[in-house]
Structures are given as C-alpha cells and as structure tokens.
Amino acid sequence: MVSILNSLNRMNVFSFNKDGYDPFIDFLKAYSILFVVIGHCLPVALYNYTLFWVWGGMQVPMFILIQTFHVYKKGVQPKLNWVNLLKRIFLPFVTVQFLIIGYKALTGDFLWTIFITSGGYGRGSYYIWIYLQIAFLLVLLWPWLRKLSLNQALISFLILSIVFEFLFSVIDCPSWLYRLLCVRYIFLIPLGLIWVEKGILMNLRTVMLSILSIFAVLFFVFTNYDLEPFFFNTGWKIHRWLCYFYIPFLLTYGLWLLFGIIKKSDLALSVIKETAKSSYEIYLIQMLVFVMFPIHTLSFIPSTIIRLPIWMLLTFFMSVVGGILFNRVIQSLFVVKRK
C-alpha cells in the first residue's frame, strides 16, 4: 500500500503541446462530440444501466477544459477574434436555426417562447451561449488569474461556485435561465489552467479528488435529496463543481491510455483529426437531425427493439457525416484559422 501511495505521489503523466498541433487534443474533441451525439439518442434507462453519466455524460465540461487550454496555453493576454466568432461560430448556428424554424413553421410546431427560453431549437442548443460566455470570461479574467497560483485560483473559483449555488437557490432561478448561464461551469477554468501548467496531473490528491467527484456524480444521479442551498436543485445534477475533478485527471488519463493504442493506426488518426476538425459542425447538424428525424419517423417498423437501434445508427451517421460535410462547406466559404 505504501509503495502504491508513493507511486501516486510521483505521477505526472502527460504534458500537452502548447506550441503547435497536439493529436491528443483532437482525440479528446472527437471523443466528446461523438458522445454528445450518442448521448442525445441513447435511451435514459441505458444511461443508468451503463453509468453513462460518468464516462459519456461530461462532454460539455470536457469542451470547456479544451477551450480554456487553447485560450491560456500561450500565457499571454488573450483577445477575442470577433470575425472568427461571427463567421465560424455564430453564422453557422443561425443558419441551422433558420432551417429548423422553417421546418417547424411548416409543420405548425414553432413557438417563440420555447425558441427563446431554450436558446434555440435542437438538442444542446444552450451550448453555443455557454461557449460565448466562457470566451468572454477567459479574456476578462486573465489579468486577475495570471497573478494567482493554481491553488489560489482553485480556491477562488470554488468559493464563487458555492456562492452561485447558494444565490440561485435563494432566488429560485428559473431553470431555463440557469441552463443558458455559464456559472455552473466556471470551476472548470482553474482545472483547465492545470492542463496548461501541469498537463494530466496524477498524484494522490488528484486521484482522491477524482474518486470523490465520481461518487458525487453517482450520488446526484441516483438520489433525490434536496441539498439546497448548498447545491441548486435543477435537472443539471452532474454539472456541478463537485463533479468535475475527475474529468481533467482520471478520465483524461484513461483516454490518454486509450489513445496510446488507437494512435498506432494511421487510419484512426485520420478519422480522429477529421472528426475533431468538424466537431462544432457535427454539434450543429445533430440539432437539425434530431428535430427533423425523430424516432416516430420510423413508426412503420413495428418492433421497438428493431426500430430503436436503426434510428440510433441513422441519427449518428447523419449527424457525423452531415457535420463533416457542413464543415467543408464553411471552410470553402470562410477561410479562417481554427485551433
């Protein structure tokens, strides 16, 4: 036992490339977006039976970690590229939303109230607003963050996260507004800084914190205790600060080991790179697919056991391939640099 603890105290597994292309970052992006799609078509019962919440349900936090790493990896004051945000983020989102609005208008299913309070139509429509808020925050916070140590940053954001949980409990924040605000993700910013300064840091402390956060995820999922005002009671039970410790450490370490096997194949690396490059477009197209191709479209198939896997395969294929094609269209229209 002593030797295991000593080994854990010495482990510093992997440092990300801060100066150029890092194929492991692409792997994390590809893993994340593919499980976004899978998560949106997977029956809720399977979430519980497979513990999908732990290993497949933390994709937005993973994307925020990657976003933080990219913004801060140079160690200089970041700047917002307004042209890039408009061309590569906002206009494609608006395009997809117009298509969905047109479809819903034709089917008589369009409601402005739902559109506004949901941040748009389609599964995961809230993410773009989270991304933009985090982008602004990362720029605004850098002059303060650069003066803090990692421990000071972690403690500061922990206090902020706890304060926000308490505040939203007291004011009983509407669930639709809470969904569109980035505050439940801000604790990921100092965790992303650890990636910048330390990489995948595995030691006794990070392993213990990882185990704690996994237990927290399972506790929040499988129990219904009202923990207000310590934790705001919403449907976003696992997207809380206590659940995030294992994502940059234990989960990413496991993915790093998996990548070590996969990267031996040139074909796999090529698929990963293409998927990662198109991750945002896959996210947009999957919103369109799930709105326009619900499972009852296949109601002519009498057996649910047959209909469900066929629908899942079709939605997954259309989302991924459609996103890759959409990315190529955008690249041909707007030649801008992407990370």
pTM over 0.85: yes
Contact 262, 241 (CB under 8 A): no
Average pLDDT value for residue range 76-81: 90
Closest listed residue to residue 74, CA positions, set 27, 16, 28: 16
Are 283 and 62 a contacting pair, CB within 8 Å?
no
For the chain, what is the mean pLDDT?
A: 91
> In the predicted model, is pLDDT for residue 6 greater than 70?
no
Within 10 Å of residue 96's Cβ, how many Cβ atoms? Answer: 23
Which residues are bridge partners to 201 per DSSP?
A: 12
| pLDDT band, residue 165 (cuts 50/70/90) | very high
Contact 5, 189 (CB under 8 A): no
pLDDT band of 82, cuts 50, 70, 90: confident
pLDDT in tens, 243-255: 999 999 999 999 9
> According to the model, what pLDDT value does residue 252 have?
96
Per 3-state DSSP, what percentage of the chain is helix, strand, and coil (rounded to 5)?
Answer: 70, 0, 25
